[in-house]
Amino acid sequence: MTLDALTFDNRFTNQLPADPIAVNSRRQVQKACYSRVLPTEVAAPELVAYSREVAAMLGLDEATCRSSEFADIFAGNKVLPGMDPFAMCYGGHQFGNWAGQLGDGRAINLGEARNAGNEHWTLQLKGAGPTPYSRTADGLAVLRSSVREFLCSEAMHHLGVPTTRALSLILSGEKVRRDMFYDGNPQLEPGAIVCRVAKSFTRFGNFQIFAARQDIETLRTLVDFTIRNDFPHLIDNNTHANDEPVANEIVFHWFREVCTKTAEMIVHWQRVGFVHGVMNTDNMSILGLTIDYGPYGWLEDYNPDWTPNTTDASGRRYRFGNQPTVAHWNLYQLANAIVQLTEEPGPLEDSLQLYADTFNKGYFSMMAAKLGLSGFVPETDEPLINDLLKTLQLTETDMTIFFRNLKNVPANASDADGETLLEPLKEAYYKPGELAGDTLKATIDWLKRYSQRLASNELSDQQRGTLMDSVNPKYVLRNYMAQLAIDKAEQGDHSMVNALLDLLRHPYDEQPEHEETFFAKRPEWARERAGCSMLSCSS
């Protein structure tokens, strides 16, 4: 299919109230869900990479994706017939504080494409220029953050984590000024645009802004639209005409689904060691998708207190171990907005409890699978899991390598010597010399308990290994790997971006040709380097 054959069915702009002001100027936008705005034209669009899977989902072939027209469209230089570009209005809590109107400050939705399967996919450009919601910023993005967004969107999908997708990464041919370290020394960096793809980019903050402004009419309109279009299975169209408000009972069912989907997403984050870094309510998807890849990171050593965000370094609100709690807090803020419609807090409170129950059940089931257990037995397995996580913190232990290699610890070998039990895991330790004394004893004691637990497992060693390999990835987008790709891309060499994209398509496969290079602990040079340890929101 050619680009001109893309079919657009722009429900968001056709069914929701628009900003009546056509001028693209920074302002407070009232009683509107979006503002129409065109992307800013750039000097010299150049394709860096594209996702063939997302392209196929949209019906686009390789020749089309490598064409100059593709680069023009997804850099923002050309608007196809049927596109209706807009930026969404929303608010949000940032680091626990209400921030008022935020909105798509550097994201422009080109439109909703309908594919051959009649699925709606919103195409959104990140870094395509200013919008009414840009505040004091320029609406642009630089190559380093765009590489990270593009690669992580696709890596998370192939890991099985609910996420927005990325179609393309395109250089703008222009320079963008950024103060990466917030130290008063801005630098000119290559500009870039990512085309993000999702069934919906609606966030918790889309509802919060209208509740905060007491604009109940627009809030009602947006809630009804969201349920009818993104959760249509909740609606019986025979009894609910399109012009009738959705009943409170359906709103409550909708919020229950949002809570459940969010819990499931967080379980996946904890499974693979992903840390979002900026879990503000405006960065929470109503569909339970991972959205807005800013200063995210992957746990290298297992440290539940680690955050990748320099802005969060003192409070560590968004640290790895706190993500389940923050998600619950964010859902509570969404409930505070919805209750203004329903005026019935009880069912919303029940759904918040459902989030906690769903997460806890999902978390321990997931951890049991990471340990290769056929099922979770609370009496034995909860203390086994909790003690493991404490043991991993006694010395710097690579989370990915540890869990991937744990399958090689033999079952029913609790009488084996410590060296035998520890041997499969040795490459996971950053400082082997620290594996001594009480730390060594605690580690071996846990391994003996684990081996003894495996003796009562209902899975054979082969079945256990297959299960563990399906939930414990061998390859994740480690921070230093992304930075190496950025370093090369900034010099005009895009090969590593595409090489990592290919590697991360199969994160659970052995891929022996990549094992020595990428199934390895973080190198020492990356321990403190910016982009490899912590990142700012500057992009």
Residues marked as catalytic: 282
Element (H, E) at 34: strand 34-36
**What are the residue ranges of helices labelled H in 66-134?**
68-75
Task: Tell me if 193 sits within 8 A of 145, measured CB to CB.
Answer: no
Burial class (CB in 10 A: 0-12, 13-18, 19+), 314: exposed
Is the CB of residue 207 less than 8 Å from the CB of residue 92?
Answer: no
Q: Do residues 92 and 204 lie in contact, with contact meaning Cβ atoms separated by under 8 Å?
A: yes
Output the six-digit token pair for 487: 């370093």
DSSP one-letter code for 243: T
| CA gap 281, 417 in Å, rounded | 50
Kindly tell me the burial class for residue 472, based on how many C-beta atoms sit within 10 Å of its own C-beta (0-12, 13-18, 19 or more).
buried
For residue 40, the surrounding DSSP H or E stretch is none
Q: How far apart are the first and last CA of the chain?
A: 34
One-letter amino acid at 301 equals D
Residue by residue, DSSP assigns 501-532 as: HHHTTSTTS--HHHHHHHSSPPPGGGSSSTTT
Asked whether the beta carbons of 183 and 172 are under 8 A apart, the reply is no
Widest Cα–Cα separation across the chain: 75
CA 371 to chain centre: 24
Instruction: Let me know: does 372 contact 406? Beta carbons within 8 Å.
Output: yes
Phi, psi of 87 (to 5 degrees): -120, 140
Residue 220's Cβ-count burial label (10 Å; 0-12, 13-18, 19+) is: middle
DSSP string computed for 402-452: HHHHGGGSPTT-TTS-HHHHHGGGGGGBS-GGGS-HHHHHHHHHHHHHHHH
95, 231, 338, 351 from 254: Cα distances, Å? 26, 7, 11, 10
d(CA 415, CA 379): 23
Beta bridge partners of 269: none
